[in-house]
Structure 1
Amino acid sequence: MASYTISNLPAISAAKLADSFRAKTPGISIIDVRDSDYVGGHIMGCLNVPVNTHDYRMPELVRTLRNQDIVIFHCALSQQRGPASALRYLRERDRMAEKGELGIRKDGEDVQRAQRVVVLEGGFVKWQETYGMDTELTEGYAKDLWDDKW
């Protein structure tokens, strides 16, 4: 089993993620782990999987996302909840793969080796600074909730 830590967890910038959206790059899933602070906007098409649901939702999430090339986690700032959730996902994915619970291979390579798990740099706070008003990239944005909040 691989050893994952916050220090070796890769990150993706808001600009690179936005470029992927505009290019309609397939195989990307975004997991927003915010709880009540999810109100006020979110990245288009993301899945909201609040941290307080991870105990019972993480195995389901691993199974659901097993065919995705990139899984991006974020919270408000991507300093605590987002990275911790990404690590939890990686560890659960490895545990399930080791026990044969994923049961699939992709191009002859184990899914756990092919799938990249990353964190969005700066979280939704950074995202909304540039892309909050962009209705092709952000959904349910309430600008007044973000003014002077952070």
Structure 2
Amino acid sequence: MSFYTISDLGRITRDDLSQHLLSASPPPLPPHLAIVDVRDSDHVGGHIAGSTHIPSNTLDYRLPELLRVLRDKQTVVFHCALSQQRGPSAALRYLRERRREEERQREIEKEEGLKQQVVVLEGGFVKWQEKFGEDKRLTEAYAKDIWEHGYQG
């Protein structure tokens, strides 16, 4: 049984996330941050610079890899198109899997002084692209024509 619920998930605004990306040296991501994009076929048309695409339907078998790769990150941001279902669900699954390894993780946190924050991007990629879609520093592979009539998910 997991003790994590949706209320345990923090949120990050697109403006706050963009500031993290713009402060990165070297770009696109600061070393303490990871962004996990769990969109499926709606991933087409652009993505946040430096994000990792893990389609939601592959998350279960990719969780062990994510836990290993993201172990040293202070903040992990999950998002989907709207961050209403797939993004929060993926973040919860990630947190729950981390709980299974809690004893080992506590030792790592003691050694490294690391406490990982798992958050969801408010408004998902839909809101992100409305403001930052055409900013090549923040968004890669953006296709304006896909988004100009709104999200069709």
- Name the counterpart of 1:7: 7
Amino acid of the residue matched to residue 61 of structure 1? L
Amino acid of the residue matched to residue 86 of structure 1? A
What aligned pairs does 1:75-90 form with structure 2 within 5 A after superposition? 75-90=80-95
Unaligned runs of 5+ in 2: 25-29
2:98 and 2:40 map into 1 onto residues whose CA distance is 23
Q: Secondary structure at the match of 1:71?
A: strand
Q: Secondary structure at the match of 1:148?
A: coil
- Name the counterpart of 1:40: 45
TM-score, length basis structure 2: 0.88
C-alpha displacement at 1:110, in angstroms? 7.0
Aligned residues between the structures: 146
Change over 3 Å in CA distance of 1:39–1:104 after alignment to 2 = farther
C-alpha displacement at 1:5, in angstroms? 1.2
- Name the counterpart of 2:108: 105
- Name the counterpart of 2:70: 65
Indicate the RMSD between aligned Cα atoms, in angstroms: 1.9
1:67 and 1:133 map into 2 onto residues whose CA distance is 31
What aligned pairs does 1:68-147 form with structure 2 within 5 A after superposition? 68-98=73-103, 100=104, 105-106=108-109, 108=111, 111=114, 114-147=115-148
TM-score, length basis structure 1: 0.90
Q: Secondary structure at the match of 2:101?
A: helix
Task: Could you list the structure 1 runs, at least 4 aligned residues long, displaced by more than 3 angstroms after superposition.
Answer: 106-111
Amino acid of the residue matched to residue 124 of structure 1? F
Amino acid of the residue matched to residue 92 of structure 2? L
Q: Secondary structure at the match of 1:105?
A: helix
